[in-house]
């Protein structure tokens, strides 16, 4: 609920405030060094305030026309804004819990917070002048206090809980201490995001404990607290770690269990995966491998260590710094038919704008579901691969098995392309299983994808004399209409159907009163076997003539395997044996690393088969079913054993 009467009052109050801020030399000195344009978008009033400190003189403006540039955008409602100015909002926490959605150079914007501190005196002044003294009460303060008191009363008597700071923690102090970092240079500094995540986790943990106390349960069991991979080393962060540790000690009564015995809780559902196996999946989810930037390196090391322990030979392939793909090779002899290769990607897509109910890196388990970014796409698949590798290792059955963990799949298979260029490290591959989410239904292939950009050029002129120019948007418009009706003249594929085309973006022109000299169109084409990237490029060029230049931005090849192939029949039988469901020939809706790997490996029969739920891929509160992971381990193990046996 907005505390303001209406949009008009809101705009007036904030405009007055910013005029004051710009006229306070103390504040302006603090902001002087940062050349930045911050856009505050207020969702409830559907209006945007731009604070522009990029020029010589700072300025503010409301609802700039068109796409005004900005460095960072803070999306929130007017109530959150009010709380911010009342110093009643923990900004980093608000960002971590997505009360404020921040886009762009968030770090740069957060740095400005200490400089803005004196502003907080100005806001109450402005409110008073506008006759809104009634807004000067801090809404959240009372609530926070009560929660903590209640937490203290129910807590164990032997610990002095009043010495803990109340949550949420204020981050402003810690950000100030960033100016003079301590410790040796060689120590890697924590990213603000790591810190946010840690704080967020501590807060959820505190809430979890508070609830347990309220329910009259003094936790006596050990708790697993996923803290992601946050490295917390700076001075300010040490306070955080200390608090976390104290809370943790209380939870486990001062007794820290050894790593391997950590448990979630005693009331477990009937899951057949062991605690260690669940822990593997939770660990995988705790790695932030959001692409961009990816940072698959640590995740790769984690996987490599487990499989090395189980007798695999590990090779790492980096296509860029920290962008590590991993190859795990069995030590068994290589037969003529080659090895069976299981493949999966470690990166995930970003979290999106909608708030998550469950920590995207927490691996929270609710009944048969486990939540987290990548749960379905496709860390559940990776977990099933690792567990299969471990199982084969324990049974001493690793023979002719290759496991491939790729980086950078979500950005057109960068990691797989690099492996394809170095495919000699894999040896001969006789069959490929891509463990992408199919809910354990085997898929015989997928369409390919091509992203094109068509650039139309013209000659600029004044809009009052268009005859002197050459309008690039008219050309782009003609291109769009031609593409809409495009026919690729390729026979329909029995499994993958026909190619499709979609114009997804169009842009061009700078201002209304000019003839535009540039316009561009972004096109997505889904291809089927028999239609190569060159064919598409040729056909599009011929179609649009001299109206524009065509460039391929990204390409992934189609993949398809004959349902009658012997190995496919074998796998279908195995899947039916495990799931009780007879597989039907079908294709996956998305493309995979197989686009690059299958052709590079000499086109072995290729299946897409994995435990994730395809409909959960890239979604908010993504989850997968633990029982499906278990099923996948069963299927993969049988596929590998059959492969070794048939030798």
Phi, then psi, of 588 in degrees rounded to 5: -80, 145
Question: What's the rounded Cα separation, in Å, for the pair 158 and 254?
Answer: 12
Q: Residue 345 Cβ, how far from Zn ion at the closest point, in Å?
A: 6
Q: Residue 624 Cβ, how far from Zn ion at the closest point, in Å?
A: 12
Q: Residue 360 Cβ, how far from Zn ion at the closest point, in Å?
A: 16
Which residue number, 206 or 377, has a Cβ lying nearer to Zn ion? 377
Which residue number, 346 or 515, has a Cβ lying nearer to Zn ion? 346
Q: Residue 317 Cβ, how far from Zn ion at the closest point, in Å?
A: 19
Structure tokens given for 418: 């690099």
Q: Residue 377 Cβ, how far from Zn ion at the closest point, in Å?
A: 4
Structure tokens given for 449: 């994808």
Q: Residue 370 Cβ, how far from Zn ion at the closest point, in Å?
A: 17
- 550 touching Zn ion, by CB under 5 A: no
Phi, then psi, of 503 in degrees rounded to 5: -85, 115
In eight-state DSSP terms, residue 25 is: H
Which residue number, 90 or 325, has a Cβ lying nearer to Zn ion? 325
Q: Residue 436 Cβ, how far from Zn ion at the closest point, in Å?
A: 5
Closest residue to Zn ion in the complex (CB): 377
- 414 touching Zn ion, by CB under 5 A: no
x/- track of binding to Zn ion for residues 343-382 (CB under 5 A)? ----------------------------------xx----
What strands lie across the sheet with 623-625, from one edge to the other?
Answer: 365-366, 369-371, 623-625
Residue closest to 250 by CA, chosen among 163, 165, 159: 159
x/- track of binding to Zn ion for residues 436-475 (CB under 5 A)? x---------------------------------------
Question: What's the rounded Cα separation, in Å, for the pair 215 and 246?
Answer: 21
Q: Residue 422 Cβ, how far from Zn ion at the closest point, in Å?
A: 22
Question: What's the rounded Cα separation, in Å, for the pair 484 and 224?
Answer: 54
Which residue number, 436 or 622, has a Cβ lying nearer to Zn ion? 436
Of 185-193, 203-211, 430-438, 575-583, the segment contacting Zn ion by CB under 5 A is 430-438
Question: What's the rounded Cα separation, in Å, for the pair 349 and 327?
Answer: 22
User: What long-range pairs does 543-548 form, CB within 8 A, spacing at least 24?
Assistant: 543/482, 543/483, 543/486, 544/454, 544/478, 544/479, 544/482, 544/483, 547/456, 547/475, 547/476, 547/478, 547/479, 548/454, 548/455, 548/456, 548/457, 548/475, 548/476, 548/479, 548/521
What lies within 8 Å, CB to CB, of 103 at 6+ separation is 72, 73, 75
Question: What's the rounded Cα separation, in Å, for the pair 245 and 324?
Answer: 32
Which residue number, 377 or 596, has a Cβ lying nearer to Zn ion? 377
Which residue number, 194 or 436, has a Cβ lying nearer to Zn ion? 436
x/- track of binding to Zn ion for residues 594-633 (CB under 5 A)? ----------------------------------------
Residue 564, judged by CB atoms within 10 A of its CB (0-12, 13-18, 19+), counts as exposed
* Number of shown-chain residues binding Zn ion (CB under 5 A): 3
Residue closest to 359 by CA, chosen among 474, 212, 197, 469: 197
Q: Residue 588 Cβ, how far from Zn ion at the closest point, in Å?
A: 10
Structure tokens given for 205: 């943990």
Q: Residue 347 Cβ, how far from Zn ion at the closest point, in Å?
A: 8
Contacts with Zn ion, residue ranges (CB under 5 A)? 377-378, 436
């Amino acid at each position: 609920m907005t505390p303001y009467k209406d949009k008009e009052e809101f705009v007036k109050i904030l405009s007055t405030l910013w005029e004051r801020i710009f006229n306070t030399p103390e504040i302006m000195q603090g902001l002087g060094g940062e050349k930045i344009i911050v856009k505050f978008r207020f969702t409830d009033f559907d209006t945007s305030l731009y604070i522009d400190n990029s020029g010589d003189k700072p300025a503010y403006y409301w609802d700039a026309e068109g796409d005004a540039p900005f460095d960072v955008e803070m999306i929130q409602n007017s109530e959150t804004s009010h709380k911010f100015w009342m110093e009643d909002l923990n900004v980093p926490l608000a960002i971590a819990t997505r009360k404020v959605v921040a886009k762009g150079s968030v770090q740069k914007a957060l740095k400005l917070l200490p400089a803005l501190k004196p502003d907080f005196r100005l806001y109450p002044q402005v409110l008073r002048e506008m006759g809104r003294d009634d807004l000067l009460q801090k809404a959240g303060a009372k609530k926070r206090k009560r929660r903590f008191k209640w937490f203290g009363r129910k807590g164990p008597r032997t610990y002095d809980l009043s010495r803990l700071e109340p949550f949420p923690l204020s981050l402003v102090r810690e950000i100030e201490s960033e100016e003079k970092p301590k410790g040796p240079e060689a120590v890697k500094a924590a990213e603000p995001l790591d810190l946010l995540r840690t704080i967020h986790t501590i807060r959820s943990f505190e809430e979890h404990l508070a609830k347990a106390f309220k329910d009259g349960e003094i936790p006596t069991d050990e708790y697993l607290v996923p803290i992601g991979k946050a490295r917390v080393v700076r001075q300010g962060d040490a306070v955080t770690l200390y608090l976390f540790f104290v809370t943790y000690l209380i939870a486990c009564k001062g007794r820290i269990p050894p790593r391997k015995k950590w448990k979630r809780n005693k009331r477990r559902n009937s899951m057949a995966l062991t605690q260690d196996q669940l822990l593997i999946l939770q660990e995988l989810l705790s790695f932030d491998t959001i692409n961009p930037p990816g940072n698959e390196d640590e995740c790769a090391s984690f996987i490599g260590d487990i499989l090395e322990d189980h007798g695999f030979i590990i090779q790492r392939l980096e296509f860029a710094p920290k962008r590590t793909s991993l190859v795990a090779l069995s030590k068994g002899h290589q037969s003529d038919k080659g090895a069976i290769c299981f493949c999966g990607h470690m990166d995930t897509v970003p979290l999106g704008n909608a708030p998550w109910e469950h920590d995207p890196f927490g691996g929270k388990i609710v009944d048969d579901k486990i939540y987290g970014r990548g749960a379905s796409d496709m860390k559940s698949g990776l977990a099933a691969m690792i567990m299969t590798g471990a199982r084969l290792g324990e049974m001493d059955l690793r023979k002719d098995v290759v496991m491939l963990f790729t980086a950078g799949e979500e950005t057109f298979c960068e990691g797989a392309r690099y492996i394809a260029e170095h495919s000699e490290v894999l040896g001969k591959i006789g069959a490929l299983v891509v463990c992408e989410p199919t809910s354990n239904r085997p898929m015989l292939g997928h369409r390919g994808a091509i992203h094109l950009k068509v650039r139309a050029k013209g000659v600029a002129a004044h809009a009052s004399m268009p005859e002197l120019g050459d309008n690039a948007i008219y050309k782009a418009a003609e291109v769009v209409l031609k593409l809409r009706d495009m026919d690729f003249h390729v026979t329909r594929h029995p499994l993958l159907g026909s190619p499709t085309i979609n114009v997804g973006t169009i842009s061009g022109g700078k201002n209304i009163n000019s003839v535009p000299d540039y316009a561009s169109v972004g096109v997505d084409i889904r291809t089927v076997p028999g239609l190569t990237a060159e064919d598409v490029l040729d056909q599009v060029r011929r179609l649009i003539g001299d109206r524009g230049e065509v460039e391929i931005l990204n390409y992934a090849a189609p993949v398809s395997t004959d349902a009658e192939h012997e190995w496919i029949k074998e796998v279908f039988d195995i899947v039916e044996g495990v799931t009780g469901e007879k597989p039907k020939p079908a294709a996956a809706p998305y493309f995979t690393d197989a686009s690059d790997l299958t052709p590079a490996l000499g086109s072995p029969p290729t299946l897409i088969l994995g435990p994730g739920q395809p409909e959960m891929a890239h979604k908010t509160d993504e989850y997968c079913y633990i029982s499906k992971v278990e099923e996948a381990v069963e299927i993969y193990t049988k596929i590998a054993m059959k492969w070794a046996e048939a030798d």
